[in-house]
Amino acid sequence: MRILSILACAIVFVGCGSSRLSQSTEKVSQENIKESVYYLASDELEGRNTSTEGNRLAAKYLSDKLKDYGVKPFFSSYNDTLATIDDSWNVVGVIEGTDAELAKEYVVLGAHYDHIGLAKEGEDKVANGANDNASGTAILLELSRHIALAKENKRSVIIAFFTAEEIGLVGAKHLANRMKDEQVNVVSMLNFEMLGLKMNRDYAAYLTGFDHSTLAGKINEYAKSSLVGRLEKAVEYNLFKRSDNYPFYEVFSIPAQTFSSFDFENYEYYHHVKDEADQMDYEFMTDFTTRVLPVVKKVVNAPEGEIRMN
């Protein structure tokens, strides 16, 4: 998150000579989430800075996972290469909608996978970016697995992993403008950012731009609990404009907002070499993913006009 610039458990049924995963009993996998964070935040990837080998290794990991989960490339390949930056690309997949008409509408689920790379001084030079944003990336991967498995989405769902967020939301701006140019009918966008740790609050995550649309109220209605809240610090620092949701709001004038649980009090290693995978709370991440999954499905399938700007 650009803040300082102002922030399987699988159950198998066997029958008729074949096996399949049960759509109703497949659980969110803490193992999957942890594996993704540990790989993306490993020293091998050297902080995933844009246009580096570590960034490209992360992109390959994400495209391989989408392929494994049955999420098709949205373009001719998963790689959405940036026009203004060499050797860096968004990773973009699509889960096609099941309704003949609503499938022409697209809900974008996004998270940025890049980070700031190597520190200039110190013995530990790798700014691993576990919370920022291997956490949101891992959660989105697990959500994509379940949505693709269930095949219940009436609207089409775009899974977008953005590069170059840390240098000005460049990846998200590129994709939003490309989709606009190609007349993709994007109706809403949910972004996942810095979700590795629990807050000491009566809601699990805050939603940036809380009052901009009906989304926050509908999320809590769908969840039948206080899943999201309004964080005053998010308003103070105008975080609505500082993550990858914002280009989609600007370009499409749609509800486009970010989930986050970094509240300026629960983690001291923002853009720091100690933002490591072993610092993350995987029980919280698994619980949040479990709670947000049915909510995301309901957002995707919401009646026309239910998710709208205020």
Mean pLDDT of the chain: 93
Task: Write out pLDDT tens, residues 143-175.
Answer: 999 999 999 999 999 999 999 999 999 999 999
Q: In order of start, what are the domains of the chain with their CATH numbers?
A: 35-300 (3.40.630.10)
Residue 220: both structure tokens together: 């809590």
Q: If you ran DSSP here, which 8-state letter would residue 27 be given?
A: B
Q: Which residues on adjacent β-strands are paired with residue 81? A: 89
Residues sharing a CB contact under 8 Å with residue 101, sequence separation 6 or more, in sequence order: none
Task: Write out pLDDT tens, residues 196-209.
Answer: 999 999 999 999 99
How many Å apart are CA 33 and CA 295, to the nearest integer? 19
Instruction: Kindly report the backbone phi and psi dihedral angles of residue 246, in degrees, each rounded to the nearest multiple of 5, phi listed first.
Output: -65, -40
Residue 253: both structure tokens together: 């004038």
pLDDT band of residue 122 (cuts 50, 70, 90) is confident
Task: Write out pLDDT tens, residues 25-64.
Answer: 589 999 999 999 999 999 999 999 999 999 999 999 999 9
How many Å apart are CA 169 and CA 140, to the nearest integer? 18
